[in-house]
Every structure is written in C-alpha cells, then in structure tokens.
Structure 1
Amino acid sequence: MPSTTPHRPAGDASTTAVVTGASSGLGAEFARQLSARGTDLILVARREDRLVSLANELRSPRCRVDVIVQDLSASGAGETLHHEIRSLGRPVRLLINNAGSGTLGDVVDTSVADLDAQIQLNATSVTTLSRLFSSDFVSAGAGTVVNIASLAALLPAPHMAVYGATKAYVHSFTEALSVELSGTGAHAVVVDPGPTRTEFFDASGGRIGPDSAFATVEQVVAATLRALDRRRVPRVVVPGRGNAFSAPILSRLPRGLGLTLSERLNRLGLEIAARERDARPRTD
C-alpha cells in the first residue's frame, strides 16, 4: 500500500544519500546508480579499502562522496554513525539501510557471538538508524528511509533461523514505521529482494540454482529507485515480477507447509555448502 504524502523523487541532485554496506553488492550498486543521478553520497562500511576505491570511482563535479568506516555489528554503532554524519552538515534526505549478514547453519552450531553480531547488524542498527534519521526527516518535512529485508522475511527459515527472523523483524518494523510517518513528509520503505548475485552466498555458502535464477544487483537497485520515484511511495517493494507474484503466495502459505518448504530448501543449501567446503584445496 502506498504512503499518503507526495515526495521528492529519490536521489535527486539537491540531496545527500547515506548508504550502509556500501563496499559491495547492493550497497555499491545503490551508490553507483544514485551518483549517476547527481546525488551526493555518504558511504558506510567496515572495509575501508573497498570504500575508498568506490568513492574514487564515483566522485565527480556533480557528486560529492564522503566515506565513513563503521562496523554496524558493534554495540552502539548506529548512534555513533548518526552523530558523525550530522557533524558533516550534509542535507541527508535518503537513508539506504543495506548492511546485513547471514549464516547458513543451525542455531546450536553457531557461536553466540556470531548470532549476537547478526542481530546487532540486521536489526538493532537498522532500528537505531531508522529512528534517528526518521526524526531528522520529520523535522525537515522530507526524507526516505529504505530498509533492505528479503523474501526470507515471509517465512521462518530453519538452518538460517536468525537471518530469517531479523529480516522478518525489519519487514514488520518498516511497515509500521511507514504508517507512523504518514503525513509528515518522511517515508519508510522496505525492500524484499529475492535471490540476488552478491557476495552473500560467498560468505554463507549453499548457493542453490543456476545464475538465471538470481537477479542482478543492477536490476534490484533500478527497480527500487523506480518505486521510490513514484508520486506515492510504496511501503513495500519486491523487485522482479516473479518475486512480486510469489511474495503474497509465500506469506499466505499454511505455516506447516511453509516451514517444510523452507527447511528443505535451506537443508539443500547446507548440503551444497558442505560439498563446496570438501572440494576446496587443503592449505595445511
């Protein structure tokens, strides 16, 4: 359902966008497509070398780029980042909360530290940044928070339980925030991409299906920005026609059937990841 307040198109040439998780994947592509619109950027990630390289690529007379190295899986990182961005004095009107991580594996086989870091990165920092920037946007009478979730938000995800749960949280939180912001000039949008060709599966392992089953980052970002350009901002964006068709079906599946399908798919991913590990050359 769309918001009720018209807004300025996303990423116009008079504003600044903050992009977290900007060192690769969707974050880097958001930066590229926004810079092409002449939007100034503040890029955030923990990998300084990649951030600096991307910033050097994108800087131009019509696009100012600042870099902030910040690990958003650390406690209190969201408030620290917001304070640093405010100190730059830039007119931020778009926040892309893209930073996130996932671990393929059972809860009992994952360290407590890794689970805590996932929750901090995927949920806590997203909440903190959404709250602080939403307040700024309400005061300014304009601005959009974009939170990147996943189609995994629509079903529980055995063998990726914390990842699925945090994305479900982001989806629910952002829809509720969108309603709360109605009429203020500020907006909140949740994006639910399907499988996308990023470094996510390099980190988690278990990639299932051929390349043709995966969207490109260019497609996902272009679809998101087109949605944000609409006069009435949608609360939920599901890039890709196939994903947009399947999303309401997934959300309405009987719980038991949805759990069974999700478990089987993720178990297959675990088996593929195990085979990939076994096939790697030994380094000892």
Structure 2
Amino acid sequence: MKVIEVQNVFLKYPSSKYDTIRGITFDVRQGEIFGFLGPSGAGKSTMQKILTGTLRDYRGSVRVFGTEMKHRAHDYYEHIGVDFEFPNFYSKFTAMENLTYFASLYSRRTSDPLELLEKVGLQHDGYKKVSSYSKGMKMRLGFVRSLLHDPKLLFLDEPTSGLDPANARILKDMILEQKKMGKTILLTTHNMHDAEELCDRVAFIAGGTIKAIDTPHALRKCKADTKVEYRFLDNEKEKQNVCALSDLAHAEDFQAALQKGTLTSIHSKEQTLEDIFIELTGRGL
C-alpha cells in the first residue's frame, strides 16, 4: 500500500523568482524507510514541509494516507510524527515537562515519557531544564517527542546530526525498530552512511528535482564496476595495481602473485552513494 504519493509537484516561494521544487514525483510504501539524499538547499526540507502540511501552495498532487494534502483533516497530526533538525522546546521547562505538555495535545493515549527518555539515555536528565541541554541532547529529545503518540508515519530531518557515534547508533537502532513495527519513515539527510544503512530506497535530489530513485545497493552498482586494489611482491619490491573486479581473473600480475603466494593485500573500492551523487549532479553531499 502506498502511504505517500507525489505527482509532478512544483512550489515557488513568494520571495523567489523560480520554483524551489520542480516536477518531483515519487511514492513511499507502507513499512518503507525512504530517504531524500542531497546537499543543503536542494529542496529536501521544502518537500518535507509540503508533506507535513506546512506548505500548501504547491502545484501538482501530494496525497498522504490517500488524502490530498491541501484538503487534509485536522486530525492529520494524530497520525504523523515529525523530528526537525533544529527542534524547538520550551527552554525553561524540563524535558519531562516538555514531553508531558506535547503529549497532552493528542487525543490518543501516549507513551510514558520517562520510558522514551530512558531509551535514548536521557533518563537522568529528564528533570533538567532544556536550556541546559547540548545540541545532541536536544536532538535525542526531539526524536522521542516524535514517537510520543505512536504515529504511523515518521518524518525525520537529519536525526543523527550533532550526535556522537554511540548515541547515533541508539537512534538508528530505534528507527529500524519502528520499521519492524510497520511504521513508514521518510528520512531527510545529507549523510550517505545513514542513508545506506537505514533506507530501503533513496532519492537523489538537487536543484529541486529528483535525479535518481532506487535502492542504495542498486545505485552504487549502476554506474561502474567495483574496483579492486591489490599489492604484491616482485623481486622483493612491493608493487600496486588496480583493476575492475570483472577483470580480476584476467589480471596476469594478480594471478601470478596469487599462485606464488606473494600477494600482500587486496581490497575492493566500491563506489559510495556520494560518488554516484556527484556523477549524476556534479555536486557533493
């Protein structure tokens, strides 16, 4: 089942001469983690604002849960969770007071805020004012806020930004846990490692248009054969060579070193998502 259906969408901000979003088309299926991958200013956040109902002056069609976003019902926000890259909180309130207040805005029963804080390692900071929180702590707090009401659809904007590797791992594991529960997730990021690890499919977006959509694996494999770099001893001197993986069986120096036992190292040099993005757009992530 398609949870999100976007057809030929354009959007121009009133202060701009040109469209920021230009002819975007894609869909997201239930239980899928779909990633928007692109540099700052590519149109990722604008597309997310359209999908979350913040921007409604678009042309084309944007349907979520089968309803055109221009005509969304008031209970739309009961079913989605949004985690912004720069989350806003009441800084003079504690984390628990913030979560308790936001939980009161929903008509449905919400999760225990303290249990969510414990999952992201903030249980001992729950009664501290948010004004004392670091950026990483606010990012974790923003993430659990988006989960309070057990939404069916999650919009995550750079969820691991500003986090150390350990806390980023915790959030990524929680995102994958949400997927296992059947949630649909739209992940906006310029972090190729997060996209490759988490996403079922990704869309490359640059200049307000989508340049490619596919699985991370398919995108990495579509442009060029994997390169293999190997080193070997020749007359007691180490030499190095690189060839395509498909040509390795015909590389005479490699085969000779393999038979003589003089091969000293070998490793593949697969293209990254960023390599592919640069090939398609001429821009880095």
Superposition TM-score, scaled by structure 1 size = 0.34
Q: Which has the higher strand share?
A: 2
Q: TM-score, normalised by structure 2?
A: 0.34
User: Which structure is larger by alpha-carbon Rg, 1 or 2?
Assistant: 2
